[in-house]
């Protein structure tokens, strides 16, 4: 999808450096993926509660992911 947006040049350059990418598109895609990953972790933490009581296995997590 082609979209035109106005992004602060310093911000996009910082993201490109931190993400180790060479294009603005790659920086934006990486940032969006990271944001979604962060939100999914927050949702999982809310479902499970305190991480110290987290007793799901990797297989349990994979099954949860496949349900969505």
SS3 for the chain, per residue?
CCCCCCCCHHHHHHHHHHHCCCCHHHHHHHHHHHHHHHHHHHHHHHHHCCHHHCCCCHHHHHHHHHHC
Q: What distance in Å separates the CA atoms of residue 10 and residue 13, rounded to the nearest whole number? A: 5
* Structural domain harbouring 13: 9-67
Q: Is residue 3 part of a domain?
A: no
Task: Inform me whether the pLDDT recorded for 3 exceeds 80.
Answer: yes
- How many residues are listed for the chain in this entry? 68
Task: Inform me whether the pLDDT recorded for 6 exceeds 90.
Answer: yes
Give the total number of structural domains in the chain: 1
Q: Is residue 1 part of a domain?
A: no
pLDDT digits (tens, 9 = 90+) for 43-58: 888 877 655 666 778 8
pLDDT digits (tens, 9 = 90+) for 20-34: 999 999 999 999 999
């Amino acid at each position: 999808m082609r979209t035109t947006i106005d992004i602060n040049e310093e911000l996009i350059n910082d993201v490109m450096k931190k993400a180790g990418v060479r294009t603005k598109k790659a920086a934006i895609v990486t940032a969006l993926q990271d944001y979604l990953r962060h939100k999914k972790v927050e949702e999982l933490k809310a479902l499970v509660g305190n991480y110290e009581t987290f007793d799901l296995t990797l297989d349990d997590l994979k099954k949860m992911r496949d349900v969505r």
